[in-house]
């Protein structure tokens, strides 16, 4: 089924909106599609980098192993986002780890073909360069938050960011399904699992949020 709808997937990526249909049909022939289950590792840190990844469905966790052996989660990606971009900058290896956080459908493009598209289409080149620059700024801001904000602030801001990115606003508040595990939240906010559990349950008791493994609800983002 994925193969039959490949061109539909391509057209629903904003980065390709300025690409002529003839080029999209050519891209379809040069693009792979695959489904990946939760917890699958798409690539490891220092693994060779020769593929650009486009996420159509699901969530991807991007993390990095520090010299001290600690894992720092840098980004949580959703549908429509690109990753594995180190290949674009000429690096021969990945500088992070990409793990499937929620069952995913992923498009794959060989880096040489992707670079050719960038070189032959200035608008596409600008779109990709701008997008990657925005992503780098997001990572820098996230790292600064981990360094200078306390656990309560980090978890509150994560919840707001997560539900704005992946949730929907309903009549009685914001909802998102499913809700990450407390361990995933701990990893994403650089706190212990015990701290994440304590703070989340305190918010639940105060009726600031409501959650289970299946959903997260926030009645009013301003009270976090």
Q: What is the pLDDT of residues 75-128, one digit of tens each?
A: 899 998 999 988 787 778 888 999 999 999 999 999 999 999 999 999 999 999
Mean pLDDT, the chain, integer? 88
Q: Who contacts 161 (Cβ-Cβ below 8 Å, separation ≥6)?
A: none
Nearest to 98 by CA among 49, 150, 60, 143: 60
CB 74 within 8 A of CB 130: no
Under the banding of pLDDT at 50, 70 and 90, the label for residue 201 is very high
Under the banding of pLDDT at 50, 70 and 90, the label for residue 1 is very low
In Å, how far from its chain's centre is CA 159? 15
pLDDT tens-digit map of 147-167: 899 999 999 999 999 999 999
CA distance 81 to 50: 18
Quote the pLDDT of residue 5: 61
Residue 84 main-chain phi, psi, to 5 deg: 75, 20
The domain 151-223: what is its CATH number?
1.10.10.10
CATH 2.60.120.10 fits 3-148, yes or no: yes
Quote the pLDDT of residue 99: 95
Nearest to 49 by CA among 106, 89, 16, 10: 89
Our CA angle for 147, 89, 105, nearest 5°, is 80
The predicted model scores a pTM of: 0.83
Every domain of the chain and the residues it spans? 3-148, 151-223
Q: Is 149 exposed, middle or buried (0-12, 13-18, 19+ CB in 10 A)?
A: middle
């Amino acid at each position: 089924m994925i193969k039959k709808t490949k061109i539909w997937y391509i057209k629903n990526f904003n980065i390709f909106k300025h690409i002529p249909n003839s080029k999209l049909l050519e891209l379809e022939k040069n693009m792979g599609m695959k489904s990946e289950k939760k917890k699958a590792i798409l690539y490891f840190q220092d693994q060779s980098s020769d593929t650009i990844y486009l996420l159509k469905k699901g969530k991807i966790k991007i993390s990095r192993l520090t010299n001290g052996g600690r894992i720092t989660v840098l980004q949580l990606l959703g549908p429509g986002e690109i990753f594995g971009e180190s290949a674009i900058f000429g690096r021969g290896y990945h500088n992070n780890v990409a793990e499937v956080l929620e069952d995913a459908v992923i498009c794959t493009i060989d880096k040489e073909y992707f670079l050719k598209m960038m070189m032959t289409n200035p608008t596409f080149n600008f779109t990709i360069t701008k997008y990657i620059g925005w992503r780098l700024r997001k990572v820098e801001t996230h790292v600064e938050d981990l360094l200078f904000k306390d656990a309560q602030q980090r978890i509150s801001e994560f919840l707001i960011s997560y539900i704005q990115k992946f949730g929907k606003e309903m009549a009685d508040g914001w909802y998102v399904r499913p809700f990450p595990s407390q361990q995933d939240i701990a990893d994403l906010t650089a706190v212990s699992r015990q701290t994440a559990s304590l703070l989340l349950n305190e918010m639940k008791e105060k009726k600031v949020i409501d959650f289970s493994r299946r959903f997260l609800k926030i009645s009013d983002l301003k009270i976090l």
